[in-house]
Amino acid sequence: MGEFEVRDKRTMDAQGNPKMDAQGNPKAEAARAQQQARSRQTPAEGPSEAALPPAGESNFLSFLVNLAAMAYMALGLGETPTEPNLPEAKYIIDSIDMLGAKTKGNLTPEEENGLRNIIYELKVNFSKVAPGGARK
C-alpha cells in the first residue's frame, strides 16, 4: 500500500480557539479576528457577551466572530461549557451561512476567507455535538 499523510487544516480547535502555525501566528484571518474580539472582552465576560469593538472599528469580520461566539455557546463549547441548544446553534449557523449567500461578491478576500472558515468550523463542531454525529 502507498503511504499518505493526513494534515489538519482546521483553523480552530473544538473549543473555538484559533490554532497557531509553527511561527505562533493564527492560521487564518477568521482566527485573527476572533482573537482580537476576545482580547476586547473583560475577564468577567464570556463569549455569550458580544464584545463590541472600539468606536470606528466595527467591521464585517468582527460581526461574524460575535455571531460565531453565540453559536459556540449554543453548542455548549464556550468558555463555560453548558448543555447544548442544538436548534439555537443551527439557527445561528444557518444565519451566518445566509449572510454569506447574501453578501457574495461584495466581500473583500479577507472577509470571504474568514466567513468560509467560520462556517466550516461551526458546521464541523455542530456535527460533533449533534446526537449520532448528525450533519447540518
Query: Model pTM?
Result: 0.56
Model confidence pLDDT, tens digit, residues 26-52: 555 545 555 555 554 444 333 334 444
Into how many domains does the chain fold? 1
Q: Under DSSP, is residue 123 helix (H, G, I), strand (E, B) or coil? A: helix
Q: Are 121 and 12 in contact (CB under 8 A)?
A: yes
Alpha-carbon distance of 115 to 95, in angstroms, equals 12
In a domain, 68, yes or no: yes
Q: Kindly indicate the confidence band of residue 122, based on its pLDDT and cuts at 50, 70 and 90.
A: very high
Domain holding 42, by residue range, is 29-131
101 belongs to a structural domain: yes
